Copies of this chain bind each other. A is one copy, B any other.
């Protein structure tokens, strides 16, 4: 029995999926553009088969839209969509926090604080990709602590849907520093087990980002 020493060579449709996600959040695959399967396959050095399977996954997540015999196009995200996603997050994240907070162990809290530090560190390095992944890890440590897999899954879908815009949000240094303060506030509430304060902190956190992003969208 050998331990997993190196990053396992994944099953390659996963590689395609990961790369396509990157293309989507960086905007290299811009909303509205049709996806040419063969071109994409060539670019990634694989055949069309794994590309098509990855597209089916992305379709399920709402990142691309599909019409039979017409193919896939990158989904557009309107301001209304954005607002809707954030409203659904409001409802579901509140539930996650209600359930999770009473269950939080000191170990959980420690992990969450470490994750917050990661966000800060990535922010100081101005590494946008790292900030977004660290930020996501931070929040989902809390959400997952609720122990409700279906809820976590749904929240992940909602976060995924607006990932494109989170990088935009974190591009502004002011936003990066504000996020740190908001994380600290949330952590303070978690430490004392104050559900209401935690929900409020998370709500304020969301409100700021949805405001910033929808401004960016409308202008």
Query: Chain A residues in contact with chain B, CB under 8 A?
Result: 10-11, 14, 49, 52-53, 56-57, 59-62, 68-69, 81, 84-85, 87-88, 91-92, 95, 148-151, 153-154, 157-158, 161
Contacts of A157 on B, CB cut-off 8 Å? Answer: 154
27 contacts between A and B (CB under 8 A): A10-B68, A11-B68, A11-B69, A14-B68, A53-B53, A56-B56, A56-B57, A56-B60, A57-B59, A57-B60, A60-B60, A60-B61, A62-B150, A62-B153, A81-B149, A84-B150, A84-B151, A87-B95, A88-B92, A88-B95, A88-B151, A91-B92, A91-B95, A92-B92, A150-B161, A154-B154, A154-B157
A85 B14 Cβ-Cβ under 8 A: no
Expressed in whole angstroms, the Cα–Cα distance for A148 and B151 within the complex equals 19
Query: Assembly of this chain: how many copies?
Result: 2
* Interface majority SS (helix, strand, loop, mixed), chain A: helix
Q: Could you say which residues of chain B place their CB within 8 Å of the CB of A161? A: 150
What residues on B are CB-neighbors of A52 within 8 Å? 53
Q: How far, in angstroms, from A57 to B60 measured CA to CA in the complex?
A: 6
